[in-house]
Amino acid sequence: MRLLGVIGGLGWPATAEYYRRLNEGVEARLGGLHSARVLVHSLDFAEVTAAEERGDWDAMAALLVEAAQGLERAGAEGMIIAANTMHAVAPQVEDAVGIPLHHIAKAAAKRVEASRQHTVGLLATLTTTNGDFYTGPFVERGIEVILPQEAERPEVDRMIYDELVHGIIKDGSRKRFREVMAGMRDRGAEAIVLAGTELGLLLEADDADVPLHDTTAILVEDTLDWMLEA
C-alpha cells in the first residue's frame, strides 16, 4: 500500500471525514485489520482563509506548498488536498513537489463523464465558483457547468464557511441548498456536483431530483485505487 500525504485542516471536519473514509475504504477492500497508510499535515485554517479573503494567492500557495514539501520529505508517495476551494493553488503545489497530487476536480469531471452527463450544477464556495480552476477539467471534457444564481452564491458560501466548516448542521440550510439545487436543475443540470467537502455531511441523494456527485467520496475512491494498486 502506498503512503498518502494529506494536506488538511481546511477545515478540520473535512480532514476527519477524509481520514474516516480512507480507512473505511481500505478496510472494505482488504478486510481484516487493514487501515490506510496516511500522513496528515493539518494547517491553521484561519491563516489560509485570511489569505483567501485578501485575494493573496501567493500567500495561500506558500502555506500549502510548505505542507506538501513536508509530506514529501516525510515519505509520502502521493498526496491530496482535503478541500475543494484550496485547489485554486493546486498548480503551485504540483510544481513544488516530485510526487503526484490527486486533483479533486479532475477526478469529479472524470466521474461525470463516465456517467454520460453533459450538464451539471456546481455547488461550491465563492472562490470556487468565481474561478476556472474547478470548472476547467469539466469544460475540457465537454461538460457544461451551471452555477447557482449570482445572488445565491454569497449565501451558499456563508452556509459552508459559517456552518458546515464548523460541523454545524441546520435543517434550514438543508432546505435552502435544496432550493438552490432545484434552480440549477430547472436550468438544465442533469446532476449536481457537491464541490464543497463538507456538503456531503449535510446533503444526501434524496435532497435533489437529480443525481449528486459527492466530490469527497469520488476523490477518496480515486485515491484508494492508487494507494492499493502497488
* Average pLDDT over every residue of 204-210: 93
d(CA 157, CA 94): 26
Nearest 10 degrees: CA dihedral of 21, 26, 32, 35? -80
Euclidean distance between CA atoms 173 and 170, whole angstroms: 5
- pTM (whole model) above 0.95: no
3-state secondary structure of 131: coil
Cβ partners under 8 Å of residue 192, min gap 6:
120, 121, 122, 123, 181, 184, 185, 208, 210, 211, 212, 213
Q: How much is the pLDDT for 190?
A: 97
Distance CA(184)–CA(122), nearest Å, equals 8
- The three grid cell numbers given for residue 197, joined into one nine-digit string: 467537502
E strand or H helix at 64:
helix 57-73
Choose between 13 and 147: higher pLDDT: 147
- Residues 188-208, mean pLDDT to the nearest whole number: 92
Distance CA 75, CA 183 (A): 46
Neighbours of 31 (CB within 10 A): 8
Average the pLDDT over 18-47 and give the result.
97
